[in-house]
Structures are given as structure tokens and as C-alpha cells.
Structure 1
Amino acid sequence: MAKNTNPQETADGLTKKVTSPIQRRSFLKYAGAGAALSTLFIMGCDNDDDMNNLPGDGVNLGSGDVGILNYAYALEQLEAAFYTQVVASTSFNTTFSNAMERMILTDIRDHEVAHREFFKAAITSAAPDDIIPGLTPDFSAVNFNDRNAVLATAKTFEDLGVAAYNGAGKLLTSATFLTLAGKIVSVEARHAAEIRDIISNGTFASGPEINNMGMDRALMPKDVLAAAQPFIKEKINFSNLPTT
């Protein structure tokens, strides 16, 4: 994967570049380390939530820290699938005629794929019987030939992702997992800011997602999944997730 050039800036000084894509070698080392850490914290847990994934029950995320990791994995699957389809669209070059915008969307795709694979490796290593399956995205309501439709959907996913991590942080019992979630949500927030700025220059930190204290909103899993469910064909069962 080619390295990015230095960030380009507009006259008002706003950077027009998301953080550099994760190099494959570095990512594999990162995922391996995450899987090892996950093993330390989860191997001793008694978790039989895989038994709950029965016909009609939907995809059960599970409980405890494993459930929260599956929750994050489900959201990263959705985001990775969306940006993969955006970039793979035959109209990508015409829908996004600006080369910088195409680079940004491609970089975001790479980040989301890396996040998805990180959670997959970590959960598979630590609790292979409890990892949720690959989900089937449903983007039938998105017109990938329409720049505004793509960006509006991207904004929805990024804002939702940031709120999801913020809300789920307090549900984790492992300080290690909380630190990892904090590192990922900071990247998701960069994505959200960049998408907003593409839509309308200078709006990277505006809107109802940021309160009058300058803080991003936090949403609980039930609210996040209610918004994400229309984009996922499988029913997501979050009934066993911690709530406090």
C-alpha cells in the first residue's frame, strides 16, 4: 500500500487528509498483539452465549466484554462493507471527481477494514465459540452513484460509530479493552470530521453530535443498533449485553 503524501491544507488551514493508512505489516503485528491481550482477559471467562444463537433468535452478541467486542465488530463490519462498496463502485471516479476526496474515502475504507480484522482476530483468538458470524449488509436504500447520498450515509455511520464507542466504554470491565476502544474511536472521530468537511467545508466539528461542552454524544447499544439495523439483513440480538 502506497504511503500518503503530506496533508494538503485549504486556505483556512483545515487539513484535507485522514491519517495515513495502516501498513499491512504493522496491522498484522497490531492485530496479533490485540489477540494476545484478549486471550489474557477472556480465556478464564465462563461464556456460553453461543448457545443463544438459535434460529429465530437472531445474531446474539453475547454478554460481558465479549459481547461488547462483538458489538464493535458488528459495527466495523458494517462500515468496512459500506466503504468497500463505495470505492469499488464503477462510478466512483465520476461520483467523486475530486482526487483528494477519492483518496480520503479509500483511506477510510482501509482503516475500517483494519478495525474489522482487528476485532475478528482478537475475538477468534480469545473466544472462538462466541464470535458472531460475518453479517450481510443491506445498502439497497443507498444510491452509490449519488455523491450526496454516499456522503450522507457515511456521515450517519461515522457519527453513529463515535457515539457507539463513547457509550460502550463504560460497559467494559477490562482497562486494556477500554484503552483499545479509545484508540479506535479517536480514528472514527477523525473520519466523522473529514466527512463533514467534505460535505460542507468548515463544519467538521458542528451539529447536534457535539454538545455545548464540546463533547461528542454517547449512545447505548440499543439506540445504536436501532439505527444500524436497517442496514443489516440479520436481526441483531443485544439482549445479553451489559447495560451499566
Structure 2
Amino acid sequence: MSDHSHLPAWREQSLGRRLFLQVSAASAASAALVVAGCDTSSTPTPTVDTNQILLPQGNQGMLYYAYLLSLAKSTTYQKVVDSPPGDLPAAERAIFADMRDHEVVHRETLKYLIDPTRAKALFPSDFAFILTRFTLTSRAGVLAAALQLEDLAAAAYPVIVPFFTTSNSYARTLLLKMSTVQARHAATVRDLLTPGSFADSTVVNSTGQLITKTPTEVLAALAPFLAPYVLSITCPDTNPSTDPGLCTANG
């Protein structure tokens, strides 16, 4: 199966010692800045956070954002297909294989719309999606992971699609079609958890409308799976919404 070639591979990684050292270093740096602040004879040198990744602005930023969602899901579902838990029925394994295939198609399609040169410079070589934060060794754990990712994607797409300018109507149309797949995935996983269900109050409001999430909110939800790296995005200046803070609301 074709894998993404522009971005570094997302893989499982243990944070342990590495994260401890990074947190310790950050604390030491903060203490040093406090001390320096008491010395009026010198100006503190600004520190650069090498773990901060700012996605491009405009249409490209939205494409990266959608690409990362598909990459997270295709990576997770590939793990389920490769090493399914013993209590996951064959019929449900087939469903996850189908969802994996859908996400691979999305991932590869979006890859062709992203600037590959900029992508290589944007992401560190060890950038990874941390699958170990999911419990993929049981049916319950697999469904919980899938529900979290599908709910995020279903809530994300209705927000990012309107940001695309008319000059990129092709990408906008593709994302609109992909959004319907995200909704069907989310509904399918909920049906597996509770047969006959479609949605509940955690994803649909009292008027029956989907509760959407801004890119900032979605990236915040994904943050534990991307540590120590922190992703952020600047939305396009042209925002069709009447809420100018749509992209950063509740961030």
C-alpha cells in the first residue's frame, strides 16, 4: 500500500526519558529568564520553541490540517487491521479495513494538493502520532479510539471547508465530499458501540445540528498524541463566517 512520502512517517514512540528531559530543560530555561529579568543591564535573548509547528496560512494550511487528520486515522486503523484484538469480530475487522482504505484514499489525495518541498521543511524527522496513547488491544479500546478520531474529523470538516477561496474550488469540493465520509464513519462506529444509534448529545445539539470544532480545538484534542510537538494554524484572512474568531475560538 502506498504511504505518504512528503511527511516523515508517523510511528509509535515512547516519550519517557525524552519528554522528561525536554520538560526539565524548559523549566530550567524559564528559571533562567526570571533571573535575567531582574538584571536591568541586559536584554534577555528570546528563546525559540523548536517544538512549535505552525501550519501554513490560507488554503495550504487547511489542506495540511485535513491531511493530518486522515494520516492519524489511517495510521490508527492500519494498526487495528495489522494487529486486531482477539475480541474484535471478523465483521468489525472488515469495517475497520474499509475505513482504513477510505482514509488512505483521503490521505493520498490530499498529499497531491500539498506543497511537498514546504512539507519536508515543516515537520521534524521524528514527528510521530503516538498510538500508544490508545488501547488497541481490546474491542472496547479500538472503538473508543475510532470514536474519538471520527468525532473530531466530523466536527472539523464543516468548519474548514468554507475557508477555501473560490480559486481553489477543486480542493473545496473534495473536502466537502470527504466530510460526508467522516460523518458516515462516526455514525458507523457509534452503531457498533450501541446498535441502532446514530449520534448523541455529545456531538449533536438540542436542535439536531452537528456540534463543530475549530481547528484550534481539534489540534488541542490531538496534542497529547503529538507531544512534544505542538501544532497551531492561522486561518485565512478571508473568513466567510460572521465570527472573526472562528479559527481560534476556545483555543
Q: TM-score, normalised by structure 1?
A: 0.70
Q: Is the 8 A contact 2:187 2:198 kept in 1?
A: yes
Alignment counterpart, residue 130 of structure 1, candidates 102, 118, 122: 118
Amino acid at match of 1:144: L
Deviation of 1:93 (Å): 5.6
CA distance 1:235–1:93, change in 2 (3 Å): closer
The CA RMSD measured in Å over matched residues stands at 2.3
Alignment counterpart, residue 107 of structure 2, candidates 91, 116, 139: 116
Amino acid at match of 2:234: N
Q: Is the 8 A contact 2:85 2:138 kept in 1?
A: no
Q: Which residue of 1 aligns with 2:53?
A: 59
**Is 1:205 the counterpart of 2:219 in the alignment?**
no
Deviation of 1:176 (Å): 2.5
Determine the C-alpha separation between the residues in 1 that align with 2:171 and 2:130. 29
Deviation of 1:100 (Å): 1.4
Q: Secondary structure at the match of 1:214?
A: coil
Runs of 4+ in 1 over 4 A off after TM superposition: 132-135
Query: Structure 1 regions of 5+ residues with no counterpart?
Result: 2-23, 25-53
Alignment counterpart, residue 69 of structure 1, candidates 63, 69, 93: 63
Deviation of 1:74 (Å): 1.1
Q: Secondary structure at the match of 2:118?
A: coil
Q: Is the 8 A contact 1:62 1:238 kept in 2?
A: no
> How many percent of aligned residue pairs carry the same amino acid?
35
Amino acid at match of 1:146: S
Deviation of 1:235 (Å): 2.0
Q: Is the 8 A contact 1:58 1:236 kept in 2?
A: yes
Q: Which residue of 2 aligns with 1:99?
A: 90
Q: Secondary structure at the match of 1:79?
A: helix
Q: Is the 8 A contact 2:85 2:139 kept in 1?
A: no
Deviation of 1:57 (Å): 5.0
Determine the C-alpha separation between the residues in 1 that align with 2:128 and 2:171. 26
Q: How many residues align?
A: 187
Deviation of 1:55 (Å): 6.5
Counterpart mapping for 1:1-244 below 5 A: 56=50, 58-89=52-83, 92=84, 94-96=86-88, 98-123=89-114, 127-131=115-119, 132-133=122-123, 135-173=127-165, 174-233=168-227, 235-242=229-236, 244=239
Query: Structure 2 regions of 5+ residues with no counterpart?
Result: 3-47, 240-251
Q: Secondary structure at the match of 1:162?
A: helix
Q: Is the 8 A contact 1:61 1:241 kept in 2?
A: no
Amino acid at match of 1:116: R
Determine the C-alpha separation between the residues in 1 that align with 2:118 and 2:235. 13
Determine the C-alpha separation between the residues in 1 that align with 2:236 and 2:161. 11
Deviation of 1:234 (Å): 5.3
